Structure 1
Amino acid sequence: MTLKPKDMNKEEFIKLGYQFVDWIADYLDNIEDYDVLPNIEPGDIKKEIPPNPPKGNDNFNNILKDVDEKIAKNLTHWNHPGFMAYFSSTSSGPGILAEFLSAAFNVNGMVWKSAPASVELEERMIEWLREFLNISNDFTGIIYDTASVSTMHAIAAARESINLEIRNKGMSGRNDLPLLKIYITDQTHSSIEKAALTLGLGLQSITKVKTNSNFSMNTAELEKEVKTDLAKGNIPLCVVATIGTTSSTAIDPVNEIAEFCNKNNIWLHVDSAYAGVISSIDEYKNIFEGWNKADSIVVNPHKWLFVPIDLSSLFIKKPEILKRAFSLIPEYLKTEVDEIAVNYMDYGIQLGRRFRSLKLWFIFRYYGTEGLREILKHHLQLAKKFEQWIDEHKYFEKMAEVNFGTICFRARIKNVDDENKLELLNKKLMDEVNHTGKIFITHTKLNGKFVLRLVLSGIRTEEKHLELAENILDEQLNKLIKGQALDG
């Protein structure tokens, strides 16, 4: 047994670094050799990992061998061009290299003095991203890890903005605190309800406003709900409008909602974690009309701007309210430049902060804004192509408008109208498609109906992969029809 009390020396690091980069490059180049979704059961991988850590060092070649045999083959491969599930988050080469460099720097951007370049690059990257997204200059921003955390901070700022002394007095044991209300829809991301739990507002604070036939928030119903709450003595705290909901990518009428919120002094948070990057494309700008009237906006570059997970951006008009909600400065973190520098620890619950902005910097510089737009336009074109294929297909029907790169559809067989049978058919179809290992799709429910979702936003996804998906859907559905005589 050999002990290694010190870090790698330069020569060893260079040798292994080359080997490691070669492995990553080969992985990305040959990623289609893997099944997108592994054919394993929970617990299978853990059985392959020893229950106790090694007492001595192991050879790096053995570690990479285990990466091959125990990790890579048992992953769901999000970078695979056939990954068409959830909101596919793919990492690009420059983003991966930036992540590599960030780990080498290993800085903690809690205050300016602890990581000056990290703090100021983040400030500038927020400005670059704001310009790219056509967000107005009266917003500033901050980088968090995920949209769930960004949104939680936005709602915390909304809570602080109503001046009920919650920072000092809290919310428990108070008789003077009315019920604070948050307005969403049944299509809104679940992170808003989790934020209500985290912030002590509770699920009773959530009102789900009725939607229109296209799954967007009904503004008239929102006005009714707010009026009802005011009559009860409740305080309308926040409306969360979405541009690109998770299930169907529905678009709430943000402009109308913003006018109502501004008139009634209600915080408006816009969740565009998935679709926000599309605001960079001229032909889609009208969809985002009104979001500059909001108080806060969340956009996730790691969802559709090819940034390795994680990187979420929160844009906010009044960062001083966010700072008021969270800033606590222990003596050991006070510095002589606090009055003139940005200390990001003041704008959230976390003290330690990774150097995430480095990834955004690399990607903007490697592709340029026009290069990024071209990739996004290609994905939108693929989505329109698949939408046309669904519309023309004998056995498939579209279940929601195709606003971005996500298509909601289902198999619908002649003379089969029973929803239970249709749900069973589509579940089986999804499972059979995923079992091929070539593509991976997921589902949702819209109006109580089981719906398939296919997402086209992977940086490695090309037209040939979409055609493969179409062929697999056709092949597997035809097998099910023949096997169960569902064609009537």
Structure 2
Amino acid sequence: MTKPSSSTHPVINLGDWDPSQFEKHGQKLLQLIREHFETIHELPVTTNISPKELFDLLDSPIPEKPRSFESTLDETWEKIIPHLTHWNHPSFHAYFSISASFPGILADLLISSLNVNAMVWKAAPAASALESVILRWLAEMVGYDPFGDGVLLNGASLATFYALAAARDQQSDLNVRTQGLTGRYIPRLRIYTSDQAHSSIEKAAIALGVGTENVVKISSDEQYRLIPDKLEEAIQLDLDLGFRPMAVVATVGTTATGSTDPVSSISEICKRYDTWLHIDAAYGGFWNLVPEIRTDAEDLQKGDSVVVNPHKCLYTPLEVTALFCHHRGALANSFRLVPEYLRTVKEDGSVDFMDFSLQLGRSFRALKLWWVIRSFGREGLAKRLGESVRLARWLAAQATSHPDFACSATSPFALVCLRYVPYSIQTVWERVTLEQRAVLRDYLDRLNAELLARLNQSGTAFASHAVIRDGYVIRISIGNIHTTEDDIKQLWDTLQKLALEVSKDIPIPSLDNL
């Protein structure tokens, strides 16, 4: 037999980089990341490039041949990095300001390198064991039952969905798990929450087959907190109509203003009507680490379930959220389904985290929390959170004492809602008619929207907005681990400067013809 020649069968590399190449490229990437953070204050927080320009810049045919990694890194820094909104920038204050610390960033590298799937115990024993430990740590941090069920998930919206699924399936006479919701009569299920609650509650109602019409929005008070008496009235009315209360969702740290619902009073109502209480503490939960906040904090232990979000407040990279449930087995009652290929021999103390949600493929999220918590300690985390609170209160005090600004809502956390109200309008407000006030209010809304737009276009900071009873407000969320007092002072100076420019460019409307 003739031996095939090498020219007939050329050697083709079908493998990955070799480990030394990986190290070389990794060192270059770490260098670029280091330089990114060393010069981050010179980097605009966001981009003003148009969608068309951006697609023109990035769109290209699929590469048929390999490209060098050096060229990929170069193009990443030339075409991608400059046109992001940089959530990990010290001057990013939009939505809920999140922050990835360096220990968490390195942990994500190791998580990706190991690429384990923490679905059943046997698939990744140490990952599942560490998740159990981390869940206990997190529960202790926020003051929740460390001996109930818990699971790490990718976000608070899904955590709320899972909690409400467990609440629905606690209605054992309905047997929704096996019989479903269609083709038979079941009572109309109702979910109650504040008119300030997150949209994830309505999304959960859609996915659960409850429907948005059965999410009952309860009025909030002057501090944007759910009014317990209104909640009880709504539940009693529904019972009289033959509807069935399924769950109440209380919020600790609302999206618009960072307010906190009166959990203890809500809990007493839920007990009277045997209704599941889910607490959305995605934003507010971990601020309990700060001693001055913990003193007046609501008791999360009152909730049948609670969600808290480490990627919002514990300097941990996206995505990681913790869902806790007092009732052992309730989450598994909704989601446990084990096909033959996933059956394993149970060992004493083992946990199969796939049983607690819809997710089967699960990353090793616990590792990055372990690295972050060990790197800073509970005390260090509390001090860093406390500094964000101090900066937020400094900013609120500046706005309150300024003749042209107002602090429209207060929060115990590091969230400030500012509204630009020129003093000239304040002086005439009490003397004008209701119709004239409506005109001025619309004008102030336009003024603040333009002020926010110019702030974001400046590249020096990035914030978001809310519409509350006062009208359109500029939301400043402070939470980046690298944000300093100088960053907040620069933000405040920029807001004052831009406010003067905006008021000149958008003159006050005439009220003479009203």
- State which of 336, 345, 357 in structure 2 corresponds to 1:348: 357
Q: Which residue does 1:297 correspond to in 2?
A: 306
8 Å CA contact retained: 1:147, 1:312: yes
Is 1:406 aligned with 2:415? yes
| RMSD (Å), alpha carbons | 1.7
Compute the displacement of 1:32 (Å).
1.8
Inter-partner Cα distance in structure 1 for 2:413 and 2:292: 12
- State which of 457, 468, 473 in structure 2 corresponds to 1:451: 473
Compute the displacement of 1:486 (Å).
4.4
Compute the displacement of 1:289 (Å).
3.0
Is 1:67 aligned with 2:82? no
Inter-partner Cα distance in structure 2 for 1:53 and 1:475: 47
- State which of 195, 209, 214 in structure 2 corresponds to 1:200: 209
8 Å CA contact retained: 2:307, 2:322: yes
What TM-score, normalized by structure 1, do the two folds share?
Answer: 0.97
Compute the displacement of 1:137 (Å).
3.3
Larger displacement relative to structure 2 (475-484 or 256-265):
475-484
- State which of 242, 252, 256 in structure 2 corresponds to 1:233: 242
Q: Which residue does 1:151 correspond to in 2?
A: 160
Is 1:167 aligned with 2:167? no
Q: Which residue does 1:325 correspond to in 2?
A: 334
Inter-partner Cα distance in structure 2 for 1:196 and 1:487: 43
Matches within 5 A, 1:464-479: 464-479=486-501
Q: Which residue does 2:442 correspond to in 1?
A: 420
Compute the displacement of 1:336 (Å).
1.4
Compute the displacement of 1:487 (Å).
11
Q: Secondary structure at the match of 1:399?
A: strand
Q: Secondary structure at the match of 1:216?
A: coil
Larger displacement relative to structure 2 (144-153 or 400-409):
400-409
Q: Which residue does 2:133 correspond to in 1?
A: 124
Is 1:22 aligned with 2:44? no
Compute the displacement of 1:56 (Å).
1.2
- List gaps (5 residues or longer) in structure 1: none
Q: Secondary structure at the match of 2:258?
A: coil
8 Å CA contact retained: 2:136, 2:147: no
Compute the displacement of 1:485 (Å).
4.7
Is 1:251 aligned with 2:252? no
Compute the displacement of 1:4 (Å).
4.2
1:64-121 CA-to-partner distances (Å, cap 9, x unmatched) read 0111111100100011111011101110000000000000000011100011111110
Q: Secondary structure at the match of 2:329?
A: helix
Q: Which residue does 1:217 correspond to in 2?
A: 226
Q: Which residue does 1:389 correspond to in 2?
A: 398
Inter-partner Cα distance in structure 2 for 1:29 and 1:254: 43
Which amino acid in structure 1 is aligned with residue 353 of structure 2? Y
Q: Which residue does 2:278 correspond to in 1?
A: 269
Which amino acid in structure 2 is aligned with residue 227 of structure 1? Q
Compute the displacement of 1:172 (Å).
1.2
Q: Secondary structure at the match of 1:44?
A: helix
Compute the displacement of 1:333 (Å).
0.5
Inter-partner Cα distance in structure 2 for 1:44 and 1:389: 39
Is 1:86 aligned with 2:73? no
Cα distance change on mapping 1:111 and 1:43 into 2, 3 Å: farther
8 Å CA contact retained: 1:413, 1:486: no
Inter-partner Cα distance in structure 2 for 1:109 and 1:73: 35
1:212-259 CA-to-partner distances (Å, cap 9, x unmatched) read 111100000000000000001111010000011000011100010011
Compute the displacement of 1:47 (Å).
1.9
Is 1:438 aligned with 2:460? yes
8 Å CA contact retained: 2:119, 2:360: yes
Inter-partner Cα distance in structure 1 for 2:140 and 2:324: 12
Compute the displacement of 1:409 (Å).
1.5
Counting matched residue pairs gives 487
Q: Which residue does 1:105 correspond to in 2?
A: 114
Cα distance change on mapping 1:403 and 1:395 into 2, 3 Å: same
Which amino acid in structure 2 is aligned with residue 440 of structure 1? F
Compute the displacement of 1:169 (Å).
0.4
Is 1:38 aligned with 2:47? yes
- List gaps (5 residues or longer) in structure 2: 1-10, 426-436
Compute the displacement of 1:14 (Å).
1.2
Compute the displacement of 1:448 (Å).
6.6
8 Å CA contact retained: 1:258, 1:290: no
Q: Which residue does 1:429 correspond to in 2?
A: 451
Inter-partner Cα distance in structure 1 for 2:466 and 2:171: 36
Inter-partner Cα distance in structure 1 for 2:100 and 2:299: 30
1:139-181 CA-to-partner distances (Å, cap 9, x unmatched) read 3311000000111000000001111100000001212x01110
Which amino acid in structure 2 is aligned with residue 477 of structure 1? A
Q: Secondary structure at the match of 2:24?
A: helix
8 Å CA contact retained: 2:443, 2:509: no
Is 1:463 aligned with 2:485? yes
Which amino acid in structure 1 is aligned with residue 176 of structure 2? I
1:278-325 CA-to-partner distances (Å, cap 9, x unmatched) read 112222224433321110111000001100000000011113011011
Q: Which residue does 1:480 correspond to in 2?
A: 502
Q: Secondary structure at the match of 1:244?
A: coil
Q: Secondary structure at the match of 1:173?
A: coil
Inter-partner Cα distance in structure 2 for 1:483 and 1:221: 44
- State which of 363, 370, 374 in structure 2 corresponds to 1:361: 370
Compute the displacement of 1:340 (Å).
4.9
Inter-partner Cα distance in structure 1 for 2:280 and 2:465: 21
Which amino acid in structure 1 is aligned with residue 182 of structure 2? S
Inter-partner Cα distance in structure 2 for 1:260 and 1:3: 70
Inter-partner Cα distance in structure 1 for 2:64 and 2:88: 34
